Amino acid sequence: MEPNVLLESLIDEAGVSRAGLAGHINLAGRARGLALRYEHTAVARWLNGQRPRGQVPDLICEVLAARLHRPVTLDDIGMGTSGPHTATRPGGLPGFVEHATALWRADDQQRTGLVGTPAVTGTPAVMPVWDWENPPEDTDVSRPGERPVGADDLEMLRAARTHYEQMYRKAGGLATRSRVVGFLNAEAAPLLRGGYDDALGRRLHRAVGALAAVAGICAYDSDAQGLAQRYFHQALRLAKASGDRGLGSYVIALLVNQSLFLADYRRSVAFAEAALRAAGPHVTPALAADLHAMQAKAYARLGDPGSALERIHRAEAEAARILPGREPEETGYVQPGLVDVQVAEALLDLGDLGAAREHAAAAVRSPAHDRGRVHRLALLAHLELLQGEADKAARTACEMAEYARGMESRRLRERLRAVRERLAASGSADAGAAAGVIDGALRVPL
């Protein structure tokens, strides 16, 4: 079961306790001829994801609607048919905003069970991408509100995205996630509920969507895959409201990467195709290079070398077209050498160790932030071990571990542990020293 953050948010907004809500439901049920004896423990079960039987969900809507002085639907209380992961919900964009901000609030409050929510598969995983790619579009995103939103607010949001992205690269997703989620809840949510015209509203939804994407990246790095997926789906819906196809393609690239991690390779290929198809000329060379390179990895793992090599050629051609200063901020992660890393991983899966190592070495020679350098060095060490150069791999691993010191990241921790285990099995004379350096980097508390 998954925590019902929508119901919790409405209960708090209504200013009623759990025991109070249970009592009001008992009274409302009595008016319908029902003998109900709910207590606060039943409400707690509903908040943990249990759906009550019979007419009780309708009674919950009735009680909350009376206290809030507005209609409340089953979808509003998280007991409808659309499900918690659906980005396009009844109520249009305003309804989506209320549901999205409920998640931010619950995550900021560290709601029990939210982090452990598994990622959805099948139709619920695909529908947000389909909704982004297909009509209807948002014809007008303007909103009346007491607090007018201005250009300074948008600049604050953009600056925050840059700040939290840099923090993530330096300190890891575990250290950054609570901060970016807190910012979404305290600063971005009131702005989405504020007043703005259509033009400014589209820029606002773009800025908040970019922030929600960073929250998803941090959740992914923290191995909270279901939560990461929800943030990515939110970011995609916000990108659609903004009208920025390029931003939407960037968010889908994040979903492609997550699908690769979850070993759903066919979904990775399909999502990348959707991003390239729907964004068309709005896909920048950097993003196109990354999407093709990730497709190459997916095809390699599916055992389709022809398609993998064809995507490698496309990725390299797009990477050659990247012009510094001509890319949006979000695609800044496609730094020199990133495509080499992706290509090296694809070639490794295809069994071409020599070519894979050439690309991995080229990636290490290229400039990168510390986080990217850890991944590049980990891959190079792995390839050096596979080619029988254990002592060289141990030295590469030591360099990798030094860059990883201080980072709070489950993804990096997994990479470090994998390299340590491979070194221990290699029989290298330097393996012990390298293991000690890696252990030092692993002592960062998570």
Over pLDDT 70: what percentage of the chain? 97
Residue in 243, 258, 148, 175 with CA at minimum distance from that of residue 213: 258
Most confident of 76-90, 149-163, 272-286: 149-163
Measured between alpha carbons, how far is 117 from 3 in angstroms, rounded to an integer? Answer: 8
- For the chain, how many residues are written? 446
Q: What is the DSSP string of 211-226?
A: HHHHHHHHHHHTT-HH
The region, left, alpha or beta by phi > 0 then psi within -120 to 50, assigned to residue 159 is alpha
Measured between alpha carbons, how far is 194 from 345 in angstroms, rounded to an integer? Answer: 46
Q: Count CA within 13 A, CB hemisphere, residue 378.
A: 23
Going through 58-178 in order, the beta strands assigned E by DSSP cover none
Q: Which of 21-25, 58-62, 77-81, 353-357 has the lowest mean pLDDT?
A: 77-81
**Are 109 and 182 in contact, with CB atoms under 8 Å apart?**
no
Average pLDDT, the chain: 92
**Are 237 and 128 in contact, with CB atoms under 8 Å apart?**
yes
N-term to C-term CA, the chain: 25
Measured between alpha carbons, how far is 277 from 72 in angstroms, rounded to an integer? Answer: 38
Alpha helices in 320-430 (DSSP H): 338-350, 353-365, 370-386, 390-404, 410-424
Q: Global pTM?
A: 0.88
Distance from CA of residue 41 to its chain's centroid?
33
Residue in 383, 376, 368 with CA at minimum distance from that of residue 342: 376
pLDDT digits (tens, 9 = 90+) for 107-152: 998 887 888 989 999 999 999 999 999 999 999 999 998 899 999 9
Q: What value does the mean pLDDT take over residues 260-268? A: 97
Q: Which residue has the higher pLDDT, 3 or 1?
A: 3
Q: Which three-class secondary structure state does DSSP give residue 359?
A: helix
Phi/psi at 247 (5° precision): -65, -40
pLDDT digits (tens, 9 = 90+) for 165-212: 999 999 999 999 999 999 999 999 999 999 999 999 999 999 999 999
Confidence of residue 444 (pLDDT cuts 50, 70, 90): low
Look at residue 85 and tell me whether its pLDDT is greater than 80: no
pLDDT at position 430 is 81
pLDDT digits (tens, 9 = 90+) for 318-337: 999 998 888 898 998 898 89
Looking at residue 446, the DSSP 8-state letter turns out to be: -
The crossing angle, in degrees rounded to 10, of helices 431-442 and 390-404 is 20
Measured between alpha carbons, how far is 5 from 442 in angstroms, rounded to an integer? Answer: 34
61-72 burial string, b = 16+ CB within 10 Å, else e?
A: bbbbbebeeeeb
Confidence of residue 84 (pLDDT cuts 50, 70, 90): very low
Distance from CA of residue 344 to its chain's centroid?
24
Distance from CA of residue 319 to its chain's centroid?
24
Token pair 């001829």 in the structure block, residue:
33
Confidence of residue 426 (pLDDT cuts 50, 70, 90): confident
Strand-pairing partners, residue 148, are 195
Q: Which two tokens stand for residue 82?
A: 């659309």
